[in-house]
Each structure stands twice: as structure tokens, then as C-alpha cells.
Amino acid sequence: MVNKLENSGIGKLLQTNRLFKVGEITLLFVAVFVFISLIGPLVGDHPILKQAVVWVANIIMLIYVWIGLKLRGESFAHFGLTFRRISWRESLKVFLLSLLVFVLAIAGFIIGSIIMANITGIPENSSMGGYDYLKNNMGMLLLTLVGVYIVSSFGEEVVYRGFLINRIIEIAGDTTRGSIIAVIASSVIFGLVHYEWGPMGIVQTFFMGLALGICYIKLKKRLWILILAHAYMDTILMVQMYMASG
């Protein structure tokens, strides 16, 4: 089916037509919003099923992005995501850079917290009630971490940094100005998709996304570094939820 679509010219239009590029981004988030809106109410307030809906939505996004790449005749390497073997020295360099990105992303998260605290005058915390099922449940913690590494650490970096930043640069222009627009726009979207975390969470994740987006550009789109940094943050978050008192 992908080959047929590519032969029909859709792949070429996605590469050259700005309207198709905008449509590709728009359709992705409209489709996921519709999916969550339709399926979300069916699972009610069950925390595990609610989380499962989000995971499935992220997997749908990954598949969508992959199809878009195939239609263009590209691969994930276009986003800076390769699967080649690297030397131990290069592995060490990637690890150390991922720690630096992790620190910068946490700093962005903290800046968002400070800004919101000054705006609202209340040190509001993000709403994390959806993870209550992790409290004192080691089995669910380990299972959740596996899922989070795939759909959040990996999936969100592919979608919100790899896909969004590159596609917006194609629309805005491959210039410094285009990169700035792409990083800011992707960070705004990244913050908004975390709306369930409340206003504080939206602002926190916006600034975290801003730090990750800047690092993505500065590190010449070496996506694995961001994926690792994101995994460190997700691990800390999940362990905090696990250790939280009832």
C-alpha cells in the first residue's frame, strides 16, 4: 500500500508541497485527539486503562511518522536516529552528553515551575494522580518502565523532536530563524499534549521540551542522546510515583 501511495505522487507532494506538509502535521494530532476522545471515555477512570490509551495513541503516532518517512523514501536516519554499532568510546561520549541533556531538561522543568509559581502565587504541583497504581507495586513499576521507555522516552523524542522539528523546519525554512520557530512550536505542542498534568505541567513540559529541542539542534540531531536523557527523567518520575505514600 505504501509503495502504491508513493507511486501516486503523495510522497513527492509531502516533500515539495507546503500545504501537504502542514496537513501531515495537523492530521497526526487531529487523529490522535479523536482516538483519545472516543476511547478515553470507554475506559472511565481506571488508571491503568487510561495509561494504556495514551500508550496506544503514542504507538499510532510512531506508525504514522514511519509511514510518512516511507512515502518520502526516507528512514529514521533522516531524524538522526540510526541503529549502527558504535565503539565504546563513542558510547561513553553519548552517555556523557545524555547526562548533560538530562540536566538541561531538568533545569527547563524547574524554570517552568518557578515561572508558574510566580504567576499563580501558589506552588501548584502537576497532577500525577494517573500514576497512583504504581505506589508500592514493584511489578507494575517494572512493567510501566518498559512501556514508558518505548512509548515515552523513545516515542516522544521521535515525534516531538525528530518529526515535528524537522517537518516545521521544512515549512519555515532551513535557516536559523526556521530552526527557532520549529523548536518553539514543537515545545508548545509538547506542553499542550500534557494538559492532563494541569497548567503547571503544561508550562513545565514546555520548558523541558524547549531545552530538549535546543539540544537536538545543537547536537546535530543525534536523537539517541535525547532518548537516553528522556529515559532518565521518566525513570525518576516513575520511581517517585512508586515510592509515594498512600
pLDDT in tens, the chain (246 residues): 555 554 458 888 999 999 999 999 999 999 999 999 999 898 887 777 888 898 899 999 999 999 999 999 999 999 999 998 899 999 999 999 999 999 999 999 999 999 988 887 655 555 555 666 777 778 888 888 998 999 999 999 999 999 999 999 999 999 999 999 999 999 999 999 988 888 888 999 999 999 999 999 999 999 999 999 999 999 998 888 788 744
Q: Which amino acid is at 83?
A: F
Q: Which amino acid is at 24?
A: E
pLDDT at 19: 95
Closest CA to 131 of 210, 232, 55, 41: 55
Q: Which residues, 6 or more positions from 135, have their beta carbon under 8 angstroms from its beta carbon?
A: 241, 242, 243, 244, 245, 246
Count the Cβ atoms, other than its own, within 10 Å of residue 68: 20
Closest CA to 223 of 135, 129, 160: 160
What span, in angstroms and rounded, lies between the C-alpha atoms of 137 and 142?
A: 9
Q: Mark residue 134 as left, alpha or beta (left: phi above 0; alpha: psi -120 to 50; beta: remaining).
A: alpha
What span, in angstroms and rounded, lies between the C-alpha atoms of 164 and 31?
A: 16
pLDDT at 51: 81
Write down the residue that cell numbers 521507555 correspond to.
Answer: 149
Q: Which amino acid is at 202?
A: I
